[in-house]
Structure 1
Amino acid sequence: MRRRTLAASLGAAAAAAAAFPVYNSLAADQPRQQQAYTWRNVVVNGGGFVPGIVFNDTEAGLIYARTDIGGLYRWQEDSQTWKPLTDWIGADHYGYTGIASVATDPVEPNRVYAAVGTYTNDWDPNNGAILYSDDYGDTWGVAELPFKLGGNMPGRGMGERLAVDPTDNKTLYLGAPNGNGLQRSTDYGRTWSKVESFPNPGNFVVTPGDPYNGDNQGVLWAEFDPTGGKIFVGVADPDDPLYVSADGGSTWQPVAGAAEAIGRAGENRTIPKQAAADHASGHLFIATGNDPGPFTSAPSSGRGGEVQRLDIGTGEWTDVTPNYNPADRTPAFGGITVDRQRPGTIMVATLNNWQPDEILYRSTDSGQTWGTSWDKVAKPDGSQGRTDRFDLDHSASPWLTFGNAGDGWNLEVKHGWMIEALAIDPHDSDRIMWGTGATIWGTESLTQWDAQGDLVGEDGGALPIERFTVAVRAQGLEECSFQDVAALGGTLLSAVGDLGGFVHTDLTKAVMMIRKPNWTTGTSVDFAELNPDVLVGTGNVTSEHGHVAVSTDRGATWQPTARVSGVPGDGHGGIVAVTADGSAILWTPGDSEVTPVRSTDLGQTWTAIAGLPAGAKIRADRANAGTVYAYAAGAFYRSTDGGASFSGTGASGLPGGNGVDFRAVFGREGHLWLAGGDGAGGMWRSQDGGSTWTKVAGVDQAQVVGFGKAADGQDYPALYASAMIGGTQGIYRSDDAGGTWTRINDDAHQWAFTNTRVTGDPEVYGRVYIATNGRGLIYGDIG
């Protein structure tokens, strides 16, 4: 995909609030689904990057977490869970689930705002927007912007770009990327205009011209000094990285000494990534870096980042960078936070200090001295060990081990990575939360750190301390991108972006993670319909294993397969299928010119399949073990020898796009349904193994189709589809083999992107599973 040049600017004119509806699942005039459904998540707990956690300064227990592709959440103190706030976003504005920033009003806590937009390139067809709510995010209005925001772009974990002025809470500021400068609203986020007096739109670009790393990071964050009436704004420009206004934003001046303290001279120029103001002490702390993150791709020479302290009253700068790293490296820094109840207390996290782990630093004297969350120790046998201030309780997400057993100073479960969300509760010094690339960690015992003292004695050995517990705090926050789902009786098999895949035998617990092979992303799963102990999956790998995994005990254990010659290890997961009796596995490598291959020995050897082009989609008949089907570029193929060879069926009139998907019906030999994908139009069915096809009447567009237990009085499985019918996009069910369709979701439950996989449950009528791109795996039951 090519980068789209973004030259638009708001100028002096205000951008009017868009005429979007206020979304509320309880509103009387809200469009309803035709049959009431209850929606839940198949539990993973976390699974994606949480770049921001924001506590409200006024109302205790009011916390928001933003994700890069999965929307916005609000903490529910009574249940200790997160509530999703953006499920109303539909496919036409799917980019609104990329939350670039969130701001909670310190004066009227009921007001909350989100800056949304997933990509600044042409991957997202829409511009960004500001969502505004007057009721804690239960309902929203939308103010469209004439430029894009990047909730899933580099720099998404830097300081909050969106901020409410605590001295005049109808005024908000937005730091924009790509030359769009500092934006301001004076009517509670309803309209926005560029602050013409702000002199610097930023100039820091990681890789000029690159469609993903080519952003000018722009204006990064705003911090307020209510006692002095000053507004500080960080800019991605090493020569002028910090500005201040003392007249309510009318005029702006560079802060003296900021270029030397933050920007530095030499090759490793840095920018002010995050800031935290300690109002009581009169200090502004700034974490700097030579890369916007969340990955650190800048040159490794020199320091990755620093922590600088500005005395707001005197203008004096002090370098308070922690000078010790147990891993003996100079880290980049991510999140930074202060304790509002204890002036002088500050914490900062390393960013991608990969081996052996991230480090949290804590200071109680405004950065003069620091303690580390863990330290290295010498073990009696001379090997390297470590000692920690806290234990990590991952029982809510057992998969956080990622299959690791732990060794030496590499713990079974890590403090995290990509730690850019780091926040001490302004109402409770004992509570902290931090986001990682996979979860949220938290504790309500933080101040025990200060009583522990040093971790290591003069002899290099660990000193005795009383550890506290840090536990998963991601319950209810589901951010996985599900790529494929297979529903067996009592077992749910899935392929998942970034995490590989899961085997769920309990929809309320995520225990079994597929780790052999170690998929960076799972892409496809299947099972043998007549021998359901046999499961298969495929995904992107970089290890020595092949791309396909096999289980012969219903997912309890997995074995990797051999590599296929000519398929590189990076990526190429593709599509996998297994014949109904489990005797043969068929695999189409993804993004490859390699012909699909077949194995009859559980993937230990592979042979090329005759008669199929590279890239063909393969599905097994669910009733006949000898029959397998394939589709490629508008042509349909069939095999009657268990997938060893294929020939074209001669079917005509099928769509030819890449978005086409087809599935075989369980218990019905030769019954196939094909979804044409976006733009191709419609749905087709075949009852003779793909020789002839009939277009299904009334379906405008269909992205995916699946099957579940038949309704009472019906002998054909229920059909489920993510489709557009009667001009309305939604999730639909048909109980009469496609004769009529019922929309089963409503406008309050759209989950933005549902065109990867939808299927029913073979044992529970009405239950549907919906794979989303960032809101996890949704399932619905009637009632």
Structure 2
Amino acid sequence: MLFIRLFTVSCIVSALLACTKQQNEQQAESSTIASSTQVYFEKLKSERVESDPIVKWQNIGPGMSGYNEELWTHPTNPDVMFIAPDMHVAYGTWDGGESWQSIQDHDELGQEMKRVIDIEFSQQDPNYAVALDWNGWIYESLDQGKSWHKLSELSPSYEQYGVDPYDPLAFKKGWYDEQIGMRLSDIAIDPNNDSIWYVGAGDYWNVKENHRSMKKPHGNTLSYADYGYILKSENKGRSWKKIDKDFPENLDVGEIIVNPKNSKHIVMLTNYGLMHSKDAGENWLTQAEGLPHNSPRDITYYFDESSGEHIFYLIEQTHYIPDGSSIKSSGGIYSSADFGESWQNITGNLAFDLSQVNYPAEHWRYFRAIGHWLGIGSNKAKEQYPTLPKSILPVFNRIAVNPLDKNEIYVSYNKKHDRTFLPGEAWQSLDGGQTWKVVARHGKYWLSDQDKAYWDARENPSHANVEFSHVQAYMDAHAEKEGNRLLEFNSKGEVFLSIAQQTHKSSDKGKTWQQIDDIETSPGSGIWIGRGNSDLPGRFMLLDTGIPKRRLLTSGEHGVWETVPMTILDNPQAVALKQIEGQAQVDGMYSISTMAVHPDDPDTLYIMAWRQAHKGKLRRSTDGGKSWQNISTVMETSSERNSADGKVIQGPPGMLPASNSLLIDPTNPNTLFFVNERDAFSEIYRAPRREPTKGGYGFMKSVDGGLNWKVSNTGFHENASLRRLAIDPENPNVIYAAAADKNGGLYKTEDQGDTWQRIAIPDPIKSVNNIYIDKQSHELFISAGGFYDGAYEEGGAWRSKDGGETWQKFFSAPLVLQVETSPVNPKIILLTAGNQMRMDRQFMNPGLYLSLDDGSTWKKINTHLANSDKIIDAKPDPENPDLLWAAGWGSGWYVGYINGANGKPWYQY
């Protein structure tokens, strides 16, 4: 018996020793992992880290769906083009527009090439290109624009002008908080020597902010642009010389053109007229014999290298002159065969009879245009000059000529953002300017065959001829109010426009125009596949929708889209999408901030908008998105707002605060919750704060299915900016709220928001940006860090395994916006790291991070992301453990396959 007892004790001791040994080994292993992870975080902090190829993101669109500001084509290769949309992205294509890829470096800070101003190619080396972005930074490419290297930061920084861009008054001064340098406007390469470059200062092509008038013939000077000089480099941008002798201090340079037959002769398009240099840019004189005002808006040229023929084509700014009860105009289109020394009028019959055009929208735009030019406003213009003119020119701002045909010329304008008018989007001459026709036509005026007799008399077709994708119904219903932004030819004579929020191409001399942003899976299906060039403001993604394989993706400006599982032969891993709310519907809601699905009825959907149509409304569909109705007004604001210096300003109601985290009680679907964010730092525009006249900032609750709402902020700190909510999956009475402000934190309610208590979290944390609860483990995850400021240690990601009693930090970065685990495999964690809006505190490696081992190790996964520093939403798929989704601030949505997911479609797993 003693032997047995001794043996038993011995076994117990041995087992304990073995257990202790195993625990020590596990602790040692854990310590090693923690140590190596900490080394990784230090590396992220101090040096560039390349993305791991474990995930390569695909931009799933929809294509464009934002304003395309510029398009550049390769001088000899028609398959190579670049575009510069307005939402801080830039794309290139090397297959003629069949597909597009971001040309931004996804492993940089996010500032580089986020908005490109100009791209130029060498005439000696077809692979060599240079680019200028809106920070005033210069880049070069050795591979036809597939990759870019930053050479220099040319423009002065804010500090050199004594302005702090992070001062709240910076908005009032006109500075953009994300603008780093001062704006420059043009870059040119000497066609005879690609080591010689020129850069012009200004913001010439910013039509939206720069309207000329009789009182301001030189336009506006903008506080975020630099003026009054050009720069010259003779060693491919490695060093620069500033030239400003005798220039006006607010000289705004539009284009610099070097004579291909004589590099010493340069012509420069400026807001002070056409200027010439005969000594390679050292000295300049204003010369434009034959131009009535020498007030050019745009210039282009035709050059035949074999014959040496060189012809300039130019738009002269339209001037409006009172003529009794009406108005007459001067200006028009001019050409020069002597490199700009003298000019001939080729306006031909471009002027038109407005009295013959029964188009009220154009009449209104006409009175706005002449009222602006005369400085009297549209109402007085209509009162003083009521007679519509029989011969009038609009204000054109773009001109292009076919490089294969000197007689094929196009002119266009931007009716939305410039002070101009005229039916159509572009006019064309095929005979060198003798006769002109409207060649880009869309909208209800052209669909109605209005004024057909007048257009027939001009031998001008009067039917609509512009194709759109999902916005077709919207564009057909309106009167050409969106405007065109660009005009460009490629080397084989195809011409490009950007009407509204799509890019268009004509291959038949303007007879028809096709959008080149999206592919419809079959004609009339309304199901689209993006080509990779999305400018869409991606927003909240609702992935767990109650219906397998249905994912709902919301956006700013383009409503709600749902995934359509279908096999796509060309790319089986592409994602087909269908718009279920927005432009494809009559009277749709466009800018969706949050969305929820009924827990018992997946066909009942709720959405909210913070700007544009139906803002401040709760909108519901009971048929899966086929039809929608507003069921309540949740929020309205006064016409007063506070300026940056605290003064009260009167104005239109404008945008509302962003609404986030629309949630429904799973046990009582009549109870709904959401938060109105006081300071929405991740939205397209940060709206000036206005006091609500209905609703309010903070937590809002409805107990009658969303018909009535009340604000419930008891327990929150003063002026809390609530950003996200999360409901406890086991107890819907328990809700957590993340407060993202300098006094922020984590809050909890146990009575569905009637009262709130602050939860103790680690001391460094101030702003809590997101709260997430894993449905399997019930662990809490918080994401922290200040967006505008905040020390590095204030940011990161923490989790609690005991309901918030204790917290462990598992990721270190100054600004973590979101952490979510895979519902299928909780060891998979996807994390979003942003960048603070301060260049003195830039995180070296913003973007997305993936852990496959419950946060023990991490991989940066930015490959093929645009907007990598501005990912608004990122989630693992609720059904497929190998699938990830992301939404970019201005680059639409993405799908990412872990390890390629065996090449299968997203819905097969």
Q: Smaller-chain TM-score range?
A: 0.7 to 0.9
Counterpart of 2:148 in structure 1 is: 140
Give me the whole-angstrom Cα distance separating, in 1, the residues matched to 2:396 and 2:178: 18
* Displacement after TM superposition at 1:389 (Å): 5.3
1:517-536 counterparts in 2 under 5 A? 521-527=591-597, 532-536=602-606
Counterpart of 2:486 in structure 1 is: 421
* Displacement after TM superposition at 1:529 (Å): 6.4
1:566-577 counterparts in 2 under 5 A? 566-568=636-638, 570-576=654-660, 577=662
2:563 aligned with 1:504, yes or no?
yes
Q: Give the direction of change, closer, same or farther, for the CA distance of 1:727–1:43 in structure 2 (3 Å limit).
A: closer
Indicate which of 266, 273, 278 corresponds to 2:302.
Answer: 278
Work out whether residues 502 and 515 of structure 2, in 8 Å CA contact, stay in contact via their aligned partners in 1.
Answer: no
Counterpart of 1:456 in structure 2 is: none
Indicate which of 58, 82, 86 corresponds to 1:40.
Answer: 58
Counterpart of 1:181 in structure 2 is: 229
2:663 aligned with 1:578, yes or no?
yes
2:833 aligned with 1:722, yes or no?
yes
Give me the whole-angstrom Cα distance separating, in 2, the residues matched to 1:703 and 1:258: 60
Q: Give the direction of change, closer, same or farther, for the CA distance of 1:231–1:358 in structure 2 (3 Å limit).
A: same
Indicate which of 446, 450, 465 corresponds to 2:509.
Answer: 446
Give me the whole-angstrom Cα distance separating, in 2, the residues matched to 1:752 and 1:717: 20
Give me the whole-angstrom Cα distance separating, in 2, the residues matched to 1:380 and 1:48: 29
Q: Give the direction of change, closer, same or farther, for the CA distance of 1:74–1:778 in structure 2 (3 Å limit).
A: same
Counterpart of 2:247 in structure 1 is: 200
Choose 41-50 or 67-76, whichever is displaced more: 67-76
2:700 aligned with 1:597, yes or no?
yes
Give me the whole-angstrom Cα distance separating, in 2, the residues matched to 1:357 and 1:604: 44
Counterpart of 2:851 in structure 1 is: 734
Q: Deviations over 1:221-262 (max 9, x none)?
A: 1234424653211112xxx32111234334322113488424
Work out whether residues 30 and 747 of structure 1, in 8 Å CA contact, stay in contact via their aligned partners in 2.
Answer: no
Work out whether residues 65 and 74 of structure 1, in 8 Å CA contact, stay in contact via their aligned partners in 2.
Answer: yes
Which of structures 1 and 2 has the bigger CA Rg? 2
Give me the whole-angstrom Cα distance separating, in 2, the residues matched to 1:350 and 1:35: 44
Counterpart of 1:164 in structure 2 is: 189
Counterpart of 2:127 in structure 1 is: 110
* Displacement after TM superposition at 1:163 (Å): 1.9
Larger proportion of helix: 2
Indicate which of 581, 585, 610 corresponds to 1:514.
Answer: 581
The AA in structure 2 aligned to 1:704 is L
Secondary structure of residue in 1 paired with 2:65? coil
TM-score normalized by the length of structure 2:
0.66
The AA in structure 2 aligned to 1:284 is F
Give me the whole-angstrom Cα distance separating, in 2, the residues matched to 1:558 and 1:742: 42
Counterpart of 2:283 in structure 1 is: 251
Indicate which of 88, 94, 97 corresponds to 1:76.
Answer: 94
Give me the whole-angstrom Cα distance separating, in 1, the residues matched to 2:671 and 2:733: 9
Give me the whole-angstrom Cα distance separating, in 2, the residues matched to 1:289 and 1:742: 57
The AA in structure 2 aligned to 1:681 is G
* Displacement after TM superposition at 1:380 (Å): 9.6
Q: Give the direction of change, closer, same or farther, for the CA distance of 1:405–1:478 in structure 2 (3 Å limit).
A: closer
Give me the whole-angstrom Cα distance separating, in 1, the residues matched to 2:778 and 2:447: 65
The AA in structure 2 aligned to 1:359 is E
The AA in structure 2 aligned to 1:511 is K
* Displacement after TM superposition at 1:180 (Å): 5.3
Counterpart of 2:881 in structure 1 is: 765
Counterpart of 2:549 in structure 1 is: 490
Counterpart of 2:239 in structure 1 is: 191
* Displacement after TM superposition at 1:440 (Å): 0.7
Q: Give the direction of change, closer, same or farther, for the CA distance of 1:365–1:655 in structure 2 (3 Å limit).
A: farther
The AA in structure 1 aligned to 2:247 is N
Secondary structure of residue in 2 paired with 1:660? strand
2:510 aligned with 1:393, yes or no?
no
* Displacement after TM superposition at 1:346 (Å): 0.8
* Displacement after TM superposition at 1:537 (Å): 3.3
Work out whether residues 85 and 138 of structure 1, in 8 Å CA contact, stay in contact via their aligned partners in 2.
Answer: yes
Counterpart of 1:209 in structure 2 is: none
1:234-245 counterparts in 2 under 5 A? 234-236=269-271, 240-245=272-277
Secondary structure of residue in 2 paired with 1:48? coil
Indicate which of 403, 408, 426 corresponds to 1:340.
Answer: 403
- Name structure 1 gaps, 5 residues minimum: 1-28, 118-126, 205-217, 264-271, 292-300, 450-467
Give me the whole-angstrom Cα distance separating, in 2, the residues matched to 1:722 and 1:52: 30
* Displacement after TM superposition at 1:46 (Å): 0.8
* Displacement after TM superposition at 1:310 (Å): 4.0
1:110-129 counterparts in 2 under 5 A? 110-117=127-134, 127-129=135-137
Give me the whole-angstrom Cα distance separating, in 2, the residues matched to 1:601 and 1:289: 59
2:723 aligned with 1:617, yes or no?
yes
* Displacement after TM superposition at 1:512 (Å): 0.7
Give me the whole-angstrom Cα distance separating, in 1, the residues matched to 2:178 and 2:413: 20
Give me the whole-angstrom Cα distance separating, in 2, the residues matched to 1:741 and 1:290: 63
* Displacement after TM superposition at 1:482 (Å): 2.0
Give me the whole-angstrom Cα distance separating, in 1, the residues matched to 2:331 and 2:576: 40
Q: Give the direction of change, closer, same or farther, for the CA distance of 1:380–1:192 in structure 2 (3 Å limit).
A: closer
Secondary structure of residue in 1 paired with 2:413? strand
Q: Give the direction of change, closer, same or farther, for the CA distance of 1:51–1:249 in structure 2 (3 Å limit).
A: same
Q: Give the direction of change, closer, same or farther, for the CA distance of 1:598–1:345 in structure 2 (3 Å limit).
A: same
Counterpart of 1:703 in structure 2 is: 816
Work out whether residues 538 and 573 of structure 1, in 8 Å CA contact, stay in contact via their aligned partners in 2.
Answer: no
Counterpart of 1:673 in structure 2 is: 782
* Displacement after TM superposition at 1:160 (Å): 7.0
Give me the whole-angstrom Cα distance separating, in 1, the residues matched to 2:453 and 2:56: 52
Q: Give the direction of change, closer, same or farther, for the CA distance of 1:203–1:696 in structure 2 (3 Å limit).
A: same
2:124 aligned with 1:99, yes or no?
no
Give me the whole-angstrom Cα distance separating, in 1, the residues matched to 2:454 and 2:613: 27
Q: Deviations over 1:684-739 (max 9, x none)?
A: 223455x435141452334222324357xx5556343337999754422234443x
Work out whether residues 425 and 499 of structure 2, in 8 Å CA contact, stay in contact via their aligned partners in 1.
Answer: no
Give me the whole-angstrom Cα distance separating, in 2, the residues matched to 1:513 and 1:331: 38
* Displacement after TM superposition at 1:683 (Å): 1.5
Indicate which of 226, 247, 265 corresponds to 2:260.
Answer: 226
Give me the whole-angstrom Cα distance separating, in 1, the residues matched to 2:176 and 2:98: 26
1:53-64 counterparts in 2 under 5 A? 53-64=71-82
Secondary structure of residue in 2 paired with 1:352? coil
* Displacement after TM superposition at 1:370 (Å): 0.9
Q: Give the direction of change, closer, same or farther, for the CA distance of 1:760–1:654 in structure 2 (3 Å limit).
A: farther
TM-score normalized by the length of structure 1:
0.75
* Displacement after TM superposition at 1:522 (Å): 3.3
RMSD after superposition:
4.1
Give me the whole-angstrom Cα distance separating, in 2, the residues matched to 1:379 and 1:502: 31
Sequence identity (%): 17
Work out whether residues 584 and 642 of structure 1, in 8 Å CA contact, stay in contact via their aligned partners in 2.
Answer: no
Work out whether residues 721 and 759 of structure 1, in 8 Å CA contact, stay in contact via their aligned partners in 2.
Answer: no
The AA in structure 1 aligned to 2:345 is T
Choose 373-382 or 470-479, whichever is displaced more: 373-382
Q: Give the direction of change, closer, same or farther, for the CA distance of 1:589–1:165 in structure 2 (3 Å limit).
A: same
* Displacement after TM superposition at 1:664 (Å): 3.2
Counterpart of 2:70 in structure 1 is: 52
Secondary structure of residue in 2 paired with 1:256? coil
Q: Deviations over 1:302-327 (max 9, x none)?
A: 89995331424261352728312654
